[in-house]
């Protein structure tokens, strides 16, 4: 009998598998797709030589993840590449707010008044990434914070909606920057906790940057799988788990899936009936004949570029997606990895990654709206397009069953959705079945490639299965 079977080889499933295998357990992973990685893959989606990330591309949370840091994934080929500027937030007049590695450069880009506000907001937390990540990338009521004073201080600011935090700033540069950062969690700007997400992303830039892995996001699961094999773990691909009976006997079954799929496969009936899924995304991967012709000089040096530009426009786009209307002017998150990674495209050419928010399960085509928004900040963009790969909610859900209705967070982040997920429970990684566990981003701390849900699920499994001395 195996000690643990993991269903799904995404970052969280592989993290759970590695942590249990390192403790001496016999672990096997079963992945539906032909390759491992889940939301961290790299594929030639368009033309030969153009290596795209169909899902995640930029990794502030992976680079700053306590779980990944403890594994030393760099020994297994993971190499972080840093752009000149982690993120630029341009405006149509060619100016930009920037999230730079240094607090000073970021503050300067926000204008004289808001520079001071930015410095004061972040000052108490600078240099404290390690304890903040350990204390917030978890289920808040499981265990005591490592640094209670910083925890309480951060919690007060973090609990607010970003729409409220934005009122501290006078100009659109800072307001737009924070709204764009908060929009990563795909909840309306009035949702509690969105300020916390925005501040965490800003702190991550100042602590460890917003890097991309050399060769693409696939490097993250590849490194995890190499470490797993070193500890005797086994990964099976092309194996979609439909029932627990499909799997070898094991003492624990750990699901890197949506809670809905877990309930269906493990026969838990309506256990997760109340789980809400959020809006979908519309993703386009481009092969380009040259770099994106941004009007803003800062955007030309940035790894990630957010296209809002104002908090008002960003809020309207998010609200439309949440209310079931396709945004006519989408808020776009874009990434240009080939600026710093020559392995991603043939010489002189580029891969470009972009997504915007659309309603849950939306079946329309947002290509025109996306490219109109791109042309607003990079006139001539369309002339560079050699090929594009387009994926809306149905295609994303077909590629990865966890993206129910195209929700790339596998569970709504609106309301208290980042803290209480997938439902209110003392330990969200355990289920009504003593041998069945949940380790995906559907559990706290939620979306992102950081492996922390896998880390906490592995602890829950270990506590239940460890040998009693
Ligand atoms: C377009 C897009 C852009 C994103 N951008 C970023 C970004 O830049 N940075 C970032 O940090 N995050 C980003 N994310 C989010 C990130 O990809 C996810 O938060 C992360 O991958 C979640 O990890 P996970 O292990 O919980 O699940 P997943 O990565 O979804 O992995 C789950 C795995 O389980 C498998 N599976 C599901 N059901 C079964 C079954 N029945 N049997 C066997 N296998 C099964 C799936 O095939 C998949 O491989 C993005 C996601 C998308 C889609």
Is it the case that residue 258 has pLDDT exceeding 80? yes
The predicted pLDDT at position 327 comes to 82
pLDDT, residue 466, reads 83
Q: Which domains does the chain have, with CATH numbers?
A: 2-47+215-275+413-465 (3.50.50.60)
Centre of ligand 1 from the C-alpha of residue 39, in Å: 3
**Which protein residue's CA is at the shortest distance from atom 2 of ligand 1?**
55
Query: In the prediction, which pLDDT does 326 show?
Result: 86
pLDDT for 124: 96
Distances (CA, A) of 128 to 208, 345, 450: 11, 37, 18
* Mean pLDDT in residue range 23-28: 97
Angle at which helix 112-122 crosses helix 172-182, to 10 degrees, equals 40
- Is the CB of 5 within 6 Å of ligand 1? no
Q: Work out the average pLDDT over 300-324.
A: 97
Token duo for residue 68: 């990944």
Dump pLDDT digits (tens) for 419-443: 999 999 999 999 999 999 999 999 9
119 alpha carbon – ligand 1 mean position (Å): 34
For the Cβ of 32 lying below 6 angstroms from any atom of ligand 1, the answer is yes
For residue range 29-51, list pLDDT tens digits in order: 999 999 999 999 999 999 999 99
pLDDT tens-place string over residues 194-204: 999 999 999 99
The mean pLDDT of 277-287, rounded to a whole number, is 98
| Nearest CA, atom 27, ligand 1 | 10
Which residues are CB-neighbours of 454 under 8 A, at least 6 positions away? 11, 12, 13, 14, 15, 16, 17, 19, 67, 256, 439
Asked whether residue 467 carries a pLDDT value surpassing 80, the answer given is: no
Q: Is the pLDDT of residue 291 over 80?
A: yes
Distance (Å, whole) CA 21 – CA 100: 38
Measured in whole angstroms, the distance separating CA 100 from the mean position of its chain's CA atoms is: 20
Task: Identify the pLDDT of residue 211.
Answer: 98
408: Cβ below 6 Å to ligand 1?
yes
Q: What is the mean pLDDT of the chain?
A: 97
Copy the structure tokens of residue 131: 């304890």
| Cβ 40 under 6 angstroms from ligand 1 | yes
The protein residue with its alpha carbon nearest to ligand 1, atom 5, reads 56
Q: How confident is the model at residue 312 (pLDDT cuts 50, 70, 90)?
A: very high
Distance of alpha carbon 469 from alpha carbon 460, whole angstroms:
18
Give the C-alpha distances (Å, rounded to integers) separating 444 from 22, 154, 420.
23, 18, 7
Our answer on whether the CB atom of 440 is closer than 6 Å to any ligand 1 atom is yes
Q: Is the CB of 196 under 6 A from ligand 1?
A: no
Using a 6 Å cutoff on CB, does residue 28 contact ligand 1?
no
Question: Token digits for 29?
Answer: 């992973």
**Cα–Cα distance, 130 to 110 (Å, whole number):** 27
Mutate to test the pocket of ligand 1, among 6, 55, 265 (most ligand atoms within 8 A of CB): 55
261 lines ligand 1 (CB under 6 A): yes
pLDDT at 16: 98
Instruction: For residues 258 and 246, give the distance between their C-alpha atoms in angstroms, rounded to a whole number.
Output: 18
Mean pLDDT (whole number) for 301-326:
96
**Does residue 6 have its Cβ closer than 6 Å to ligand 1?**
no
CB 223 within 8 A of CB 217: no
422: preceding bond cis by omega (within 30 degrees): yes
Residue 468 pLDDT: 65
Half-sphere exposure of 327 (CA within 13 A, CB side): 28
- Determine the average pLDDT of the residues in 323-348: 96
């Amino acid at each position: 009998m195996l000690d643990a079977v993991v269903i799904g080889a995404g970052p969280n499933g592989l993290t759970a598998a590695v942590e249990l295998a390192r403790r001496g357990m016999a672990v096997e992973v079963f992945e539906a797709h032909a390759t491992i990685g889940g939301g961290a893959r790299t594929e030639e989606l368009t033309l030969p030589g153009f290596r795209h990330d169909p899902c995640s591309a930029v990794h502030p949370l992976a680079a700053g993840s306590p779980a990944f840091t403890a594994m030393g994934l760099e020994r297994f080929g993971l190499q972080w590449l840093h752009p000149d500027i982690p993120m630029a937030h341009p405006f149509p007049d060619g100016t930009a707010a920037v999230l730079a590695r240094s607090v000073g450069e970021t503050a300067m880009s926000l204008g004289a008044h808001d520079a001071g506000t930015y410095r004061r907001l972040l000052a108490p937390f600078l240099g404290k990434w390690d304890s903040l990540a350990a204390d917030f990338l978890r289920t808040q009521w499981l265990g005591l914070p490592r640094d209670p004073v910083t925890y309480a201080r951060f919690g007060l600011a973090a609990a607010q909606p970003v729409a409220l935090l934005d009122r501290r700033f006078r100009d659109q540069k800072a307001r737009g920057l924070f709204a764009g950062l908060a929009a990563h969690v795909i909840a309306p700007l009035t949702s509690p906790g969105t300020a916390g997400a925005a501040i965490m992303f800003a702190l991550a830039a100042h602590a460890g940057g917003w890097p991309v892995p050399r060769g693409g996001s696939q490097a993250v699961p590849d490194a995890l799988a190499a470490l797993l094999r070193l500890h005797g773990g086994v990964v099976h691909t092309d194996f979609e788990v439909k029932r627990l009976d499909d799997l070898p006997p094991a003492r624990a079954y750990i699901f890197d899936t949506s809670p809905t799929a877990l309930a269906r496969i493990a026969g838990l009936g309506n256990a997760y009936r109340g789980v809400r899924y959020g809006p979908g995304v519309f993703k386009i991967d481009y092969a380009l004949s040259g770099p994106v012709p941004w009007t803003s000089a800062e955007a030309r040096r940035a790894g990630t570029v957010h296209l809002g530009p104002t908090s008002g426009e960003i809020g309207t786009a998010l609200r439309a997606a949440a209310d079931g209307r396709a945004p006519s002017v989408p808020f776009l998150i874009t990434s240009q990895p080939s600026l710093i990674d020559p392995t991603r495209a043939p010489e002189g050419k580029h891969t470009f990654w972009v997504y915007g928010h659309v309603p849950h399960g939306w079946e329309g085509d947002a290509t025109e709206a996306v490219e109109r928004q791109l042309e607003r900040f990079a006139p001539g963009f369309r002339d560079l397009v050699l090929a594009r790969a387009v994926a809306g909610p149905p295609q994303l859900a077909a590629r990865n069953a966890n993206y129910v209705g195209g929700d790339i967070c596998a569970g709504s982040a609106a309301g208290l959705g980042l803290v209480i997920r997938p439902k209110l429970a003392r330990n969200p990684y355990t289920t009504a079945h003593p041998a069945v566990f949940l380790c995906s981003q559907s559990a706290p701390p939620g979306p992102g490639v950081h492996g922390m849900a896998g880390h906490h699920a592995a602890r829950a499994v270990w506590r239940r299965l460890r040998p009693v001395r």
